[in-house]
Structure 1
Amino acid sequence: MFKKGLTGFQIKLIALFLMIFDHVHYFFSFTNKIPLWFTWTGRVVAPIFIFMTVEGFIHTRSRVKYMGRLYMGSLIMVLGNQWISRWFPRGDDAALMTNIFATLFLITVYLTIIEYLKKGIKERRIMSVVLGILGLVLPVAIGILMMMNLHVPGMIHAIFLLPTPMFVEGGPVFIALGILFYLTRDKKRLQLILYALVSIALMPWQNFSLQGIFYDNFQWMMIGALPFLALYNGQRGKGMKYLFYVFYPLHIYVLYVLSTFFA
């Protein structure tokens, strides 16, 4: 049955299009020929994919397979980043670090733990509640230990292989955003209000000036995703399950390799 608004597929296509602008600026900003508004438009991309990942987690037939695809995507990016950087080194030694899959995977891990915790509370199983709370704290604790032992041989590989809030793209803010989308999934108005408040809270209040909000710290511009979230009609839309899994690394590596000819 057709519903007004945008399907998940349509919203993803919009995000993919805007992501190209964002990454063109990311990889070619050193040329001073890419306008800053390219990356302004890109601020809406990560929140949209976080939102759609939560939707996917809720509606997927197999959460294990869903989480497995995200983790495999993360591993492929880790290996791809290393190999592409080695084969096509940039003259300015810029590192290839992009990997949103790790963030999305970690969000699904937290959502799984939250569901386990909620079930334990509902059934009044103290041990389940304790394990659930420990599960929420564990990724943070592991991340802190990693930060304290960066000098240990092989630790950098562990950081990439075991996603933690401190080391994934977007950090704790993006993880919290995924949890927010999940907890408010049945309360659309509250969801949009809280999302707007989070976006506003990210404004550089200590340096509140045109320079500060438009050039120094413009992550608050993710509020631009608000209309797309509001227009989501709850329908999946067309298939193409693996479009994002293929397009994301492919366009990043194409842009990165092209940038090596200018650096």
Structure 2
Amino acid sequence: MTTTKLKIIALVTMFIDHFGYFIPGTPEWMGWIGRIAAPVFIYCVVIGFKNTSSKTKYLVRLGVAAVGMSFLNLLINYRILYLVEHRDLYTGFRPYIEFNFFSTLFCIAILIYLLENRKTIWLVGLFIWQFLSALFVIVLEENSLLNNPWQIFYTQTSGNFILVEGGILFITLGILFYFANENKWKVLFGYSFYCLAMFYSVRRWGWSLAGINQELFGFANYQWMMIFALPFLLLYNGKKGIGLKYLFYIFYPLHIVLLWYISTYVYYLD
């Protein structure tokens, strides 16, 4: 199975997951299927970054996509804020949009880049920034210095491993895939152990707790179903396929806007 086929599988399962999120009355199993998407995307980005002819261009592309998606979310969230304040939407209205997996993938790629090139000083600086940027968010929240749309924009552009979508656990998964180095046995045992640890941590420290635990382990209680991505990862044959490298960059924001529009204007503002 080529990386192109892996990406298409990830796109399809992601769309099913997000369709279930946005559209009222959809069955829970759509979310189960969606657990396949994130690990496959992370796996493909790790492979793509390691094999690209220009790591700098790869990082710039991911970074631009992350910032662009943050601005798109900002526009949508201001529209949501307007609708809530002026259309008196009932409490069942969907919350602010926080989807920006580009930010997560960028954080994984930049960390791999620094590890590969042994940029020790930059790594130290990056981890200092993790502390400072998280502290800044705490200050913002406690003093209500930003409204929700701008606070979400900051968290998505901060480069903080805890604040990006999926948080530190998805960043860790990216590093696990990097050190597995496409070795199927390492992927098999490493990813299986990761999913087991995810199952335990979410059940132990997940939805019931607030604060930092919510940031670290606030996944759905069926997040362990990401184990079903493993067969696809093991079927990877080391080949690129036909490419389609810009498909994800276009499809991701497009389908978020489309599903949000359908959800808002068909189901809530009919």
Deviations 1:114-142 (A, max 9, x none): 1132xxxxxxxxxx64x155145234223
Q: 1:242 corresponds to which residue?
A: 246
Q: 1:179 corresponds to which residue?
A: 175
Q: How does 1:89-100 map to 2 (within 5 A)?
A: 89=83, 91=89, 92=93, 94-100=95-101
Verify: 1:24 aligned to 2:19, yes or no.
yes
Distance 1:217 1:259, change over 3 A: same
Which of 2, 23, 29 in structure 2 is aligned with 1:37?
29
Which of 167, 182, 203 in structure 1 is aligned with 2:199?
203
Q: Which runs of 5+ in 1 are unaligned?
A: 1-5, 118-127
Whole-Å Cα distance in 2 between the matches of residues 224 and 139 of structure 1? 34
Query: Does the CA contact (< 8 Å) of 1:106 and 1:163 recur in 2?
Result: yes
Query: Does the CA contact (< 8 Å) of 2:22 and 2:259 recur in 1?
Result: yes
Distance 1:86 1:152, change over 3 A: closer
Query: Does the CA contact (< 8 Å) of 1:54 and 1:181 recur in 2?
Result: yes
User: Residue 225 of structure 1: CA displacement?
Assistant: 0.5
Whole-Å Cα distance in 2 between the matches of residues 194 and 98 of structure 1? 27
Deviations 1:39-79 (A, max 9, x none): 10000101100000001110111111111111111111111
Q: 1:188 corresponds to which residue?
A: 184
Which of 55, 69, 92 in structure 2 is aligned with 1:77?
69
Verify: 1:217 aligned to 2:183, yes or no.
no
Identity rate of aligned residues, in percent?
Answer: 37
Verify: 1:258 aligned to 2:259, yes or no.
no
Query: Does the CA contact (< 8 Å) of 1:143 and 1:167 recur in 2?
Result: no
Q: 1:123 corresponds to which residue?
A: none
Q: Which amino acid aligns with 2:225?
A: M
Q: Which amino acid aligns with 2:117?
A: Y
Q: Report the secondary structure of 1:194's partner residue.
A: helix
Q: Report the secondary structure of 1:72's partner residue.
A: helix
Query: Does the CA contact (< 8 Å) of 1:19 and 1:42 recur in 2?
Result: yes
Query: Does the CA contact (< 8 Å) of 1:142 and 1:164 recur in 2?
Result: no
Distance 1:207 1:45, change over 3 A: closer
Distance 1:221 1:143, change over 3 A: farther
User: Residue 206 of structure 1: CA displacement?
Assistant: 8.5
Aligned length: 239
Q: 1:104 corresponds to which residue?
A: 105
Whole-Å Cα distance in 2 between the matches of residues 42 and 22 of structure 1? 4
TM-score w.r.t. structure 1 length? Answer: 0.83
Q: Report the secondary structure of 2:117's partner residue.
A: helix
Verify: 1:65 aligned to 2:46, yes or no.
no
Whole-Å Cα distance in 2 between the matches of residues 48 and 71 of structure 1? 20
Q: Which amino acid aligns with 1:113?
A: L
Whole-Å Cα distance in 2 between the matches of residues 96 and 240 of structure 1? 27
Whole-Å Cα distance in 2 between the matches of residues 235 and 142 of structure 1? 41
Verify: 1:145 aligned to 2:138, yes or no.
no
TM-score w.r.t. structure 2 length? Answer: 0.81
Which of 23, 40, 44 in structure 2 is aligned with 1:48?
40
Q: Report the secondary structure of 1:262's partner residue.
A: helix
Distance 1:40 1:116, change over 3 A: same
Whole-Å Cα distance in 2 between the matches of residues 205 and 104 of structure 1? 22
Whole-Å Cα distance in 2 between the matches of residues 36 and 93 of structure 1? 17
Q: Report the secondary structure of 1:236's partner residue.
A: coil
